[in-house]
Amino acid sequence: MTSVALYKQDGSQNGDVTLNADIFGVEPNESVVFDTILMQRASMRQGTHAVKNRSAVRGGGKKPWRQKGTGRARQGSIRSPQWVGGGVVFGPTPRSYSYRLPKKVSRLALKSVLSQKVLDDNFVLVDGLAFDAPKTKEFASVLAGLNVTTKTLVVLEDDNVTAALAARNLANVKVIPAKSLNVLDIADADKLVITQPALSQVEEVLA
């Protein structure tokens, strides 16, 4: 059975909450986490690299000199790859680096990093984050009250726009909705702060 402390927005404790052991109590699988992070980082690449081959380089339509009788090697174009200013052979072309892992692997990786955060006591559960206006100072004081001072990932319920706006100017704080929870962001953060409504959404998807 996995349980964590539940905190109020002011930093005071509001009891304990039992987490789903099938999500937050699994044995972390480093290999699966590594493969998933590799996939995510590959998918983030633009892949817009390109060079010109001999047909794309401007000029070179005329044969530089006649085929025979000059004593020099035959040449068909000044844009051949062996010429300075010529085209590139087998150079990079625009491509997508993204690929997919099996769904079971992706889910196991997500459960692994969540379980690791709980094991390391870097999982902070808050009953809710409600603000009248998107004030960065107020959000910063909430994190200070929760004793969260390092690189932090804050996971909110999907419709909590005010809190998301309040946190976006804070250094070392990244805010994502529950539906966008991913392995790379969790692994990259020192602390994971999640609201109770967002936790319910995560458990509903991963259960």
- Locus of tokens 């006649």: 66
Domains of the chain: 2-44+98-206 (3.40.1370.10), 51-91 (no CATH)
Which residues make Cβ contacts (< 8 Å) with residue 56, sequence separation at least 6? 87
SS (H, E, C) the chain: CEEEEEECCCCCEEEEEEECHHHHCCCCCHHHHHHHHHHHHHHHCCCCCCCCCCCCCCCCCCCCCCCCCCCCCCCCCCCCCCCCCCCCCCCCCCCCCCCCCCHHHHHHHHHHHHHHHHHCCCEEEECCCCCCCCCHHHHHHHHHHCCCCCCEEEEECCCCHHHHHHHCCCCCEEEEEHHHCCHHHHHHCCEEEEEHHHHHHHHHHHC
pLDDT score at 1: 61
Could you report the average pLDDT of every consecutive run of 10 residues in the chain (207 residues)?
A: 86 88 94 97 96 95 96 96 96 96 96 96 92 92 92 92 91 93 96 94 91
Spatial CA neighbour of 3 closest among 13, 15, 14, 18: 18
pTM of the model: 0.85
Kindly report, residue by residue over 24-49, the tens digit of the pLDDT. 999 999 999 999 999 999 999 999 99
